[in-house]
Amino acid sequence: MPAALGFSTYVSISPLEPRRLRIFSENFNEEVEVDLDDNKLAARKHWSDYPVGVAVELERAGHRLRGAALRIRGEVPIGSGLSSSAAIEVATACALTAIAGLQIDRRELALLCQRAENEFVGARVGIMDQFVSLFGAAQKSLLLDCRSLEFRLLPLPDNVRLIICNTMVKHALASGAYNERRAQCEAGVKHLAQFLPHVTALRDVTLEQLEQFGQDLPEVVYRRCRHVIAENERVLLAGAALDEGELQRFGELMGESHRSLRDDYEVSSEELDVMVELAQRVEGVYGARMTGGGFGGCTVNLVVAEHADEFRARVAEGYEQATKIKPEIYVCNASNGAEEVSA
Ligand code: ADP
Ligand code: MG
């Protein structure tokens, strides 16, 4: 259940005559040029892999692009787990398709952006970030079924804020650990499918079934599976809580989610735990948890609007005292996904 934050990545675009893309990033102060007819385009561990990957996947799917100059300006903190990568992909995809006069269904566009990150960039990310970057809405969170891509927007009251706390720490093991978690979940699925043939992902398994058929799993794999299965249940409960306007209940579920991420999935970090514990002590806080891939990055906090300033001051001070690191804290609202804006 993501929400789109009020940070934007802007891509301005103008046509170029040859079928080339000239892409400038203000954040990296660098320009890259590629030929759309070059069929050997490949990732080179560079920021341009993201926009070029999007162009390549659009063309591979049969959408013919035209040459263009693109200028990118991103406000999403980069590499902090808030998905600046999905933001640049989605903004690029919207710009490239608009200037080529292509009408592509937004679900299809989300999938193409995910494919760019999976196939071209080479990161095995899911669909959630790209999806919410396209379908997010003001004062709503988005309950997404990642299998069917059906979704529902749920109301966040006007008087609450999403406050993002950036630990300013990123531990090096993050990407390796991410792939390891995926492999462990897949191992769990493979084992459970021997007893439950309909199981192709952990979402097809209940906690009772895990207890019944998972006893022979390695202890670590068992805990990874327990996290995912319980988290799926929590998300559904959290959706129901938002429908009912029960923010207290929603916040409790955020806390349970954090503990499960910390203890069973083991993707938290000392800094994230400190940030969550500090947040939970402030008045007006419904809930706090880590967000993103873990091992650093950010927490997300649901806070009564009138307590936002106090929250910011108290958590920043406590965090700096505990870690000697100055955090960044952003008071946000859930916002609209990608849209065309005029200069
Ligand atoms: P996250 O998505 O959590 O921010 P990732 O590592 O997935 O972190 O994606 C960050 C990468 O996306 C950057 O290293 C860069 O390559 C690319 N990127 C994001 N925003 C921009 C931007 N404004 N300009 C150029 N590249 C960007
Ligand atoms: Mg990313």
3-state secondary structure of 308: helix
* 176-196 tens-digit pLDDT: 888 899 999 999 999 999 999
Residue 70: beta bridge partners? 13, 23
Radius of gyration of the chain (CA): 21
Q: Give the per-residue pLDDT at 35.
A: 98
* 252-306 tens-digit pLDDT: 999 999 999 999 999 999 999 999 999 999 999 999 999 998 999 999 999 999 9
Backbone torsions φ then ψ of 154, nearest 5 degrees: -115, 145
Q: How many angstroms does the Cα of residue 123 sit away from the middle of ligand 1?
A: 12
Q: Give the per-residue pLDDT at 159.
A: 97
Q: If you average pLDDT over every residue of the chain, what do you get?
A: 97
The four Cα atoms 212, 216, 221, 223 give a dihedral, to 10 degrees, of: 40
Please state the atom number of ligand 1 nearest to the C-alpha of residue 9: 23
Q: Give the per-residue pLDDT at 124.
A: 85
Q: What contacts 105, CB < 8 A, 6 or more positions away? A: none
Q: Give the per-residue pLDDT at 171.
A: 81
* 10-50 tens-digit pLDDT: 999 999 989 999 999 999 999 999 999 999 999 999 999 99
Does 173 have pLDDT greater than 80?
A: no
Q: How many angstroms does the Cα of residue 77 sit away from the middle of ligand 1?
A: 8
Ligand nearest to the backbone CA of 88: 1
CA 283 – CA 308 distance, rounded (Å): 10
Give CA 205 to chain center in angstroms.
Answer: 24
Beta strands in the chain, from DSSP E residues, in sequence order: 9-15, 20-25, 30-35, 68-74, 140-144, 151-155, 160-170, 285-290, 296-304, 328-332
Q: Give the per-residue pLDDT at 105.
A: 96
Ligand 1 proximal residues by C-beta, below 6 Å: 9, 25, 27-28, 47, 50, 72, 74, 78-85, 88, 292
Tell me which of 11, 84, 89, 166 to substitute to probe ligand 1's pocket, judged by most ligand atoms within 8 Å of the beta carbon.
Answer: 84
Summarize the confidence of residues 295-319 as an average pLDDT: 98
Q: What is the pTM of this model?
A: 0.96
User: CB 141: neighbour CB atoms within 10 A?
Assistant: 24
CA 273 – CA 288 distance, rounded (Å): 10
Tracing tokens 């559904």 back to the chain, one arrives at 236
In Å, what is the CA distance from 20 to each residue of 29, 36, 64, 66?
Answer: 20, 5, 12, 8
Which residues are identified as catalytic? 129
CA 188 – CA 194 distance, rounded (Å): 10
Q: How many angstroms does the Cα of residue 211 sit away from the middle of ligand 1?
A: 40
Q: Please tell me the residue having the least CA distance from ligand 1 atom 9.
A: 85
Please state the atom number of ligand 1 nearest to the C-alpha of residue 292: 3
* 111-159 tens-digit pLDDT: 999 999 999 999 888 999 999 999 999 999 999 999 999 999 999 999 9
Q: Give the per-residue pLDDT at 256.
A: 98
Q: Give the per-residue pLDDT at 50.
A: 98
Long-range Cβ contacts of 36-42 (<8 Å, 24+ apart): 36/65, 36/67, 42/120
CA 13 – CA 11 distance, rounded (Å): 6
Q: Give the per-residue pLDDT at 176.
A: 83
Q: Give the per-residue pLDDT at 46.
A: 97
Q: Give the per-residue pLDDT at 218.
A: 98
Tell me which of 50, 114, 169 to substitute to probe ligand 1's pocket, judged by most ligand atoms within 8 Å of the beta carbon.
Answer: 50
* 208-238 tens-digit pLDDT: 999 999 999 999 999 999 999 999 999 999 9
Q: How many angstroms does the Cα of residue 46 sit away from the middle of ligand 1?
A: 9
Residue 164: beta bridge partners? 300, 330
Ion ligand 2: residues, CB within 5 A, are 83, 85
* 66-100 tens-digit pLDDT: 999 999 999 999 999 999 999 999 999 999 999 99
Q: How many angstroms does the Cα of residue 158 sit away from the middle of ligand 2?
A: 28
